[in-house]
Structure 1
Amino acid sequence: MRPRRKSALLWAAIGALAFLAGVQALQLATTATVTLPVALGGAALVCLAAGGTAYWLEGRVGPAFAVPEPGEGDGPGGKEQS
């Protein structure tokens, strides 16, 4: 699996679990009740949004923060300068 896809899937899982934790905190702190289908539906939407956003952002912003492999570039550890 490619690292970008793996990262997006992990962020999707984090988003869904954070949403479910928030629903549980709401139910513990107040008298509000959220049914299981509503909570799981909301978690699925958050999962898709978080995963899609992470995948898109890593494609747009990720190259700016990429660490060059040893042997790339002209700096220390890169190509020999004559």
Structure 2
Amino acid sequence: MNPRTKSALLWGAVGFMAFLVLVQGYALFVEPLVSITQGGAVALLVGVATATSAYAVEHRVAAWSARRAMDEPRSHDGDGKSKS
């Protein structure tokens, strides 16, 4: 499996489970917002949206991060000068 696809699917699983945890936590402390079936359906939509957006955006974030790392000075002491 392509690493980019695998990463997107894993992020989708995280989104799916995070939504279910939030719905369950709300139901425990306040009252149920939705039925189990409705919660599962919305969690599935959240998972698909998360996976799709992760697949579309991940390579851009990685490229931006790499460019930023190349432009960043070696020192992090605040003076902007690199230490040797």
Same fold per TM (> 0.5)? yes
TM-score, normalising length: structure 2: 0.70
Identity %: 42
- 1:34 Cα deviation after fit: 2.1
* Residue of structure 2 equivalent to 1:12: 12
Structure richer in helix, relative to its length: 2
Aligned length: 66
- 1:59 Cα deviation after fit: 2.7
Unaligned runs of 5+ in 1: 67-82
* Residue of structure 1 equivalent to 2:26: 26
Unaligned runs of 5+ in 2: 67-84
Partner Cα distance (2:4, 2:33) in 1: 37
- 1:33 Cα deviation after fit: 4.6
TM-score, normalising length: structure 1: 0.72
- 1:65 Cα deviation after fit: 3.7
CA RMSD, 1 decimal: 1.4
